[in-house]
């Protein structure tokens, strides 16, 4: 699967394929989030994902994508996205663990992500995760036919700004379904009423990537793991939705 910038309006049959892939991706994510606990390595979680995908009749769309070495992306604390699973990364009580699952099922792709707190966590961490989910929900609410991509971006930015969160700008949401990355790009900031018009049949991933400090990021020596430049905590949440003829978007990765 190659990256494409083309916006692909799906047929009803293709939406059905995306729906099945999304449901599979959501189930893998649910099982992995339930397995997050102190003492578990991110590699063990990645192995669980491999087994779960096989049992569900799908496979990782991440593995081998531009040479990516993991089945999933698991990013801990200051890691924003693309954390490479490793035996050396062992989860501890209080950690923020972001899990990003992308599966291929019957020629279609499902993509979703979520950040969970290990244990109860601090009030600050609980608020941070809740605010990121709030931003995601605001973005999804703006994903309606006739609106523009900028309306989604602006909705996410308003929530992040209200809570004084850093917004990562180098990575964005995207179209999805026939490949991992399709057009349009969906930033988590921007002016309303700008960008491509949202049309029935578009399948997109909305994914706030927020920080408790600076929005600046850097990539670790592994060439993949993206972390905050100032070491502040990061949070990532993503759902894949289909634009409908009228009314709210259909969430293809149900929680």
Token pair for residue 212? Answer: 């408790």
How many Å apart are CA 18 and CA 12, to the nearest integer?
10
Q: Map tokens 């999304």 to a residue.
A: 22
Q: Map tokens 């602006």 to a residue.
A: 154
* 2 has a pLDDT exceeding 80: no
HEC secondary structure over 137-191: HHHHHCCCCCCEHHHHHHHHHHHHHHCCCEECCCCCEEECCCCCCEEEEECCCCC
Domain assignments of the chain as residue spans, ordered by start? 12-251
250 pLDDT band, cuts 50/70/90, is very high
Q: What is the pLDDT of residues 54-98, one digit of tens each?
A: 999 999 999 999 999 999 999 999 999 999 999 999 999 999 999
Section 38-45 average pLDDT: 98
pLDDT of residue 4: 65
pLDDT of residue 160: 98
Token pair for residue 13? Answer: 């049959």
In the predicted model, what is the mean pLDDT of the chain? 97
Q: Map tokens 């930033």 to a residue.
A: 187
DSSP H stretches of helix in the chain? 12-35, 42-56, 123-141, 149-162
How many Å apart are CA 130 and CA 180, to the nearest integer?
27
Q: What is the pLDDT of residues 190-247, one digit of tens each?
A: 999 999 999 999 999 999 999 999 999 999 999 999 999 999 999 999 999 999 999 9
- Provide the percentage of residues in the chain whose pLDDT is more than 70: 98
* 1 has a pLDDT exceeding 90: no
pLDDT of residue 5: 82
* 3 has a pLDDT exceeding 60: no
Indicate if the alpha-carbon torsion angle 128, 131, 133, 139 is positive or negative: negative
Section 170-185 average pLDDT: 97
Closest CA to 113 of 125, 96, 127: 96
Closest CA to 85 of 74, 77, 96, 100: 74
Eight-state DSSP code of residue 215: S
* 150 has a pLDDT exceeding 50: yes
- The answer to whether 237 and 115 are in contact (CB under 8 A) is yes
Q: Please say whether the structural domain 12-251 has been given the CATH code 3.90.230.10.
A: yes
End-to-end CA distance of the chain: 26
């Amino acid at each position: 699967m190659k990256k494409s910038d083309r916006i692909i309006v799906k047929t009803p049959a293709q939406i059905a394929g995306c729906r099945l892939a999304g449901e599979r991706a959501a189930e893998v994510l649910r099982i992995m989030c339930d397995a997050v606990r102190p003492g578990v390595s991110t590699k063990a979680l990645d192995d669980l994902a491999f087994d779960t995908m096989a049992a569900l009749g799908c496979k990782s769309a991440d593995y081998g994508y531009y040479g990516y070495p993991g089945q999933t992306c698991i990013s801990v604390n200051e890691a924003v996205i693309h954390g490479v699973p490793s035996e050396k990364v062992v989860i501890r009580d209080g950690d923020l663990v972001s899990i990003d699952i992308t599966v291929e099922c019957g020629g279609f792709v499902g993509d979703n992500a979520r950040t969970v707190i290990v244990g109860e966590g601090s009030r600050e961490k609980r608020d941070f995760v809740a605010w990121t989910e709030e931003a995601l929900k605001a973005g999804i609410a703006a994903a309606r036919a006739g609106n523009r991509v900028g309306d989604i971006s602006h909705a996410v930015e308003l929530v992040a700004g209200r809570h004084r969160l850093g917004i990562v700008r180098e990575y964005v949401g995207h179209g999805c379904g026939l490949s991992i990355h399709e057009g349009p790009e969906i930033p988590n900031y921007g002016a309303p009423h700008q960008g491509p018009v949202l049309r029935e049949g578009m399948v997109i991933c909305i994914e706030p990537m927020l920080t408790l400090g600076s929005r600046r990021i850097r990539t670790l020596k592994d060439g993949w793991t993206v972390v905050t430049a100032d070491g502040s905590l990061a949070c990532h949440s993503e759902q894949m939705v289909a634009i409908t003829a009228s009314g709210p978007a259909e969430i293809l990765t149900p929680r």
